[in-house]
Amino acid sequence: MTTIAIVGAGRGLGAAVARRFGAEGFDIALVSRNQERLDALAAELGEEGLNARGYAASVRDTKSLTAALDRATQELGPIEVLEYSPLPQKEFLRPVLETTAGDLAGAVEFSVYGPVAAAHQVLQGMRSLGRGSMLFVNGGSGAKPNPRVAGTSIAFAGETAFATMMHDVLAAENIHVGQLIIPGAIRPGHPTHDPDLLADTLWRMHTERGAFRRFAEPMDL
Protein backbone atom coordinates (compact mmCIF):
# COMPACT_ATOMS: atom_id res chain seq x y z
CA MET A 1 0.00 0.00 0.00
CA THR A 2 1.02 3.63 -0.24
CA THR A 3 1.30 6.45 2.28
CA ILE A 4 -0.77 9.35 3.56
CA ALA A 5 1.22 12.32 4.85
CA ILE A 6 -0.70 14.31 7.46
CA VAL A 7 0.83 17.76 7.85
CA GLY A 8 -0.25 19.31 11.12
CA ALA A 9 -0.89 15.94 12.75
CA GLY A 10 -2.25 16.08 16.29
CA ARG A 11 -4.67 14.22 18.51
CA GLY A 12 -7.76 15.81 16.96
CA LEU A 13 -8.37 15.80 13.23
CA GLY A 14 -4.92 14.47 12.38
CA ALA A 15 -5.35 11.35 14.52
CA ALA A 16 -8.84 10.77 13.12
CA VAL A 17 -7.54 11.04 9.54
CA ALA A 18 -4.70 8.66 10.38
CA ARG A 19 -7.16 6.08 11.70
CA ARG A 20 -9.55 6.48 8.77
CA PHE A 21 -6.93 6.09 6.07
CA GLY A 22 -4.96 3.55 8.10
CA ALA A 23 -8.07 1.37 8.26
CA GLU A 24 -7.96 1.31 4.46
CA GLY A 25 -4.38 0.04 4.47
CA PHE A 26 -2.40 3.26 4.17
CA ASP A 27 0.90 3.73 5.94
CA ILE A 28 0.87 6.99 7.87
CA ALA A 29 3.45 9.79 7.97
CA LEU A 30 2.68 12.19 10.81
CA VAL A 31 4.22 15.65 10.39
CA SER A 32 4.25 18.44 12.97
CA ARG A 33 6.75 20.40 15.03
CA ASN A 34 7.12 18.22 18.15
CA GLN A 35 8.89 14.89 17.66
CA GLU A 36 8.03 13.62 21.13
CA ARG A 37 4.31 14.12 20.58
CA LEU A 38 4.54 12.58 17.13
CA ASP A 39 6.28 9.51 18.51
CA ALA A 40 3.61 9.13 21.19
CA LEU A 41 0.81 9.32 18.62
CA ALA A 42 2.62 6.94 16.27
CA ALA A 43 3.04 4.47 19.12
CA GLU A 44 -0.65 4.73 19.99
CA LEU A 45 -1.63 4.10 16.39
CA GLY A 46 0.83 1.22 16.25
CA GLU A 47 -0.92 -0.43 19.18
CA GLU A 48 -4.08 -0.33 17.06
CA GLY A 49 -2.34 -2.21 14.26
CA LEU A 50 -1.52 0.79 12.06
CA ASN A 51 1.89 1.59 10.61
CA ALA A 52 2.67 5.20 11.54
CA ARG A 53 5.86 7.21 11.95
CA GLY A 54 6.47 10.78 13.04
CA TYR A 55 8.56 13.37 11.21
CA ALA A 56 9.22 16.67 12.95
CA ALA A 57 9.06 19.78 10.77
CA SER A 58 7.69 23.30 10.77
CA VAL A 59 5.44 24.32 7.90
CA ARG A 60 7.00 27.78 8.17
CA ASP A 61 10.40 26.25 7.32
CA THR A 62 9.98 24.81 3.83
CA LYS A 63 13.36 23.07 3.92
CA SER A 64 12.43 21.12 7.04
CA LEU A 65 8.98 20.34 5.62
CA THR A 66 10.26 18.99 2.31
CA ALA A 67 12.99 17.03 4.11
CA ALA A 68 10.38 15.43 6.38
CA LEU A 69 8.23 14.43 3.42
CA ASP A 70 11.27 13.06 1.63
CA ARG A 71 12.20 10.92 4.67
CA ALA A 72 8.63 9.66 4.87
CA THR A 73 8.76 8.61 1.22
CA GLN A 74 12.08 6.83 1.69
CA GLU A 75 10.91 4.97 4.81
CA LEU A 76 7.23 4.32 4.11
CA GLY A 77 6.85 4.50 0.36
CA PRO A 78 5.28 6.87 -2.16
CA ILE A 79 2.89 9.48 -0.76
CA GLU A 80 -0.45 8.97 -2.45
CA VAL A 81 -2.37 11.40 -0.24
CA LEU A 82 -1.23 14.71 1.22
CA GLU A 83 -3.52 16.12 3.90
CA TYR A 84 -2.56 19.65 4.99
CA SER A 85 -4.28 20.88 8.15
CA PRO A 86 -1.95 22.62 10.62
CA LEU A 87 -3.69 24.87 13.14
CA PRO A 88 -3.11 28.60 12.54
CA GLN A 89 -1.12 30.36 15.24
CA LYS A 90 -2.70 33.06 17.39
CA GLU A 91 -0.60 35.78 15.82
CA PHE A 92 -2.50 35.24 12.55
CA LEU A 93 -5.87 35.86 14.19
CA ARG A 94 -5.84 39.64 14.66
CA PRO A 95 -8.48 42.09 13.40
CA VAL A 96 -7.75 43.71 10.07
CA LEU A 97 -7.16 47.19 11.50
CA GLU A 98 -4.53 45.76 13.86
CA THR A 99 -2.76 43.71 11.20
CA THR A 100 0.40 45.15 9.67
CA ALA A 101 2.42 43.96 6.69
CA GLY A 102 4.90 42.41 9.11
CA ASP A 103 2.13 40.47 10.82
CA LEU A 104 1.27 38.76 7.54
CA ALA A 105 4.71 37.22 6.99
CA GLY A 106 4.09 34.24 9.26
CA ALA A 107 0.60 33.64 7.91
CA VAL A 108 1.89 33.58 4.33
CA GLU A 109 4.70 31.19 5.28
CA PHE A 110 2.13 28.98 7.00
CA SER A 111 -0.65 28.95 4.41
CA VAL A 112 1.09 29.71 1.10
CA TYR A 113 4.77 28.73 1.19
CA GLY A 114 4.06 25.58 3.24
CA PRO A 115 1.32 24.19 0.99
CA VAL A 116 3.26 25.03 -2.18
CA ALA A 117 6.40 23.33 -0.89
CA ALA A 118 4.52 20.26 0.31
CA ALA A 119 2.54 19.89 -2.90
CA HIS A 120 5.60 20.07 -5.14
CA GLN A 121 7.50 17.64 -2.91
CA VAL A 122 4.86 14.91 -3.21
CA LEU A 123 3.85 15.53 -6.83
CA GLN A 124 6.57 13.43 -8.45
CA GLY A 125 5.59 10.40 -6.36
CA MET A 126 1.92 10.80 -7.26
CA ARG A 127 2.83 11.03 -10.92
CA SER A 128 4.86 7.84 -10.65
CA LEU A 129 1.86 6.11 -9.05
CA GLY A 130 -0.51 7.52 -11.64
CA ARG A 131 -2.87 8.73 -8.94
CA GLY A 132 -3.09 10.80 -5.78
CA SER A 133 -4.90 13.41 -3.74
CA MET A 134 -3.89 16.69 -2.12
CA LEU A 135 -6.44 17.69 0.50
CA PHE A 136 -6.24 21.13 2.09
CA VAL A 137 -8.25 21.95 5.23
CA ASN A 138 -9.16 25.54 6.07
CA GLY A 139 -11.42 27.40 8.45
CA GLY A 140 -14.37 29.49 7.38
CA SER A 141 -12.14 32.46 6.49
CA GLY A 142 -10.78 30.30 3.67
CA ALA A 143 -14.12 30.72 1.90
CA LYS A 144 -15.30 34.08 3.27
CA PRO A 145 -12.80 36.73 4.46
CA ASN A 146 -13.38 37.65 8.08
CA PRO A 147 -12.12 41.05 9.32
CA ARG A 148 -11.70 39.62 12.82
CA VAL A 149 -9.01 37.21 11.58
CA ALA A 150 -7.20 39.12 8.86
CA GLY A 151 -4.04 37.00 8.70
CA THR A 152 -5.79 33.74 7.96
CA SER A 153 -8.29 35.43 5.65
CA ILE A 154 -5.52 36.85 3.48
CA ALA A 155 -3.22 33.83 3.58
CA PHE A 156 -6.03 31.29 3.11
CA ALA A 157 -7.02 33.22 -0.02
CA GLY A 158 -3.57 32.56 -1.42
CA GLU A 159 -3.71 28.88 -0.41
CA THR A 160 -7.14 28.57 -2.03
CA ALA A 161 -5.92 30.17 -5.26
CA PHE A 162 -2.94 27.82 -5.42
CA ALA A 163 -5.02 24.73 -4.65
CA THR A 164 -7.71 25.72 -7.17
CA MET A 165 -5.14 26.07 -9.92
CA MET A 166 -3.56 22.74 -8.98
CA HIS A 167 -7.01 21.14 -9.09
CA ASP A 168 -7.53 22.39 -12.61
CA VAL A 169 -4.17 21.39 -14.06
CA LEU A 170 -3.72 18.02 -12.32
CA ALA A 171 -7.17 16.53 -12.90
CA ALA A 172 -6.04 15.15 -16.26
CA GLU A 173 -3.25 13.24 -14.46
CA ASN A 174 -5.64 11.47 -12.08
CA ILE A 175 -4.47 13.63 -9.18
CA HIS A 176 -7.27 15.27 -7.22
CA VAL A 177 -6.76 18.50 -5.33
CA GLY A 178 -9.53 19.48 -2.95
CA GLN A 179 -10.34 21.81 -0.09
CA LEU A 180 -12.44 21.13 3.01
CA ILE A 181 -13.82 24.23 4.73
CA ILE A 182 -14.59 23.79 8.42
CA PRO A 183 -16.36 26.87 9.83
CA GLY A 184 -15.74 27.07 13.58
CA ALA A 185 -14.03 24.69 15.96
CA ILE A 186 -13.56 20.95 15.56
CA ARG A 187 -15.37 19.29 18.48
CA PRO A 188 -15.76 15.60 19.36
CA GLY A 189 -19.40 14.59 19.35
CA HIS A 190 -20.53 17.56 17.24
CA PRO A 191 -23.01 16.59 14.51
CA THR A 192 -20.87 18.10 11.73
CA HIS A 193 -17.51 19.02 13.30
CA ASP A 194 -16.61 15.73 14.96
CA PRO A 195 -13.06 14.68 13.94
CA ASP A 196 -14.17 11.21 12.85
CA LEU A 197 -16.91 12.66 10.63
CA LEU A 198 -14.46 15.12 9.07
CA ALA A 199 -11.94 12.35 8.50
CA ASP A 200 -14.61 10.35 6.69
CA THR A 201 -15.36 13.40 4.53
CA LEU A 202 -11.68 13.61 3.62
CA TRP A 203 -11.69 9.91 2.75
CA ARG A 204 -14.66 10.46 0.44
CA MET A 205 -12.92 13.45 -1.13
CA HIS A 206 -10.02 11.13 -1.94
CA THR A 207 -12.14 8.31 -3.30
CA GLU A 208 -15.04 10.17 -4.93
CA ARG A 209 -13.11 13.16 -6.31
CA GLY A 210 -15.71 15.59 -7.65
CA ALA A 211 -15.74 19.32 -6.97
CA PHE A 212 -12.77 21.22 -5.59
CA ARG A 213 -14.43 22.45 -2.40
CA ARG A 214 -16.56 20.82 0.27
CA PHE A 215 -18.00 22.29 3.45
CA ALA A 216 -18.36 20.64 6.85
CA GLU A 217 -21.59 22.64 7.17
CA PRO A 218 -23.30 25.21 4.91
CA MET A 219 -21.97 28.77 4.97
CA ASP A 220 -23.65 32.01 4.01
CA LEU A 221 -21.26 33.34 1.37
List the chain domain ranges.
3-215
Please, what CATH class does the domain formed by 3-215 belong to? alpha beta
Q: How do the pLDDT tens digits run along the chain, 221 residues long? A: 799 999 999 999 999 999 999 999 999 999 999 999 999 999 999 999 999 999 999 999 999 999 999 999 999 999 999 999 998 888 878 999 999 998 899 999 999 999 999 999 999 999 999 999 999 999 999 999 999 999 999 999 999 999 999 999 999 999 999 999 999 899 999 999 999 999 999 999 999 998 999 999 988 87
pTM for the model stands at: 0.95
Q: How would DSSP label each residue in the chain?
A: --EEEEET--TTHHHHHHHHHHTTT-EEEEEES-HHHHHHHHHHHHHTT--EEEEE--TT-HHHHHHHHHHHHHHH--EEEEEE-PPPPGGG---GGG--TTTHHHHHIIIIIHHHHHHHHHHHHHHHHT-EEEEEEEEGGGTS--TTSHHHHHHHHHHHHHHHHHHHHHGGGTEEEEEEEE-S---TT-TTT-HHHHHHHHHHHHHH--SSEEESS----
Strand partners, 134: 82, 177
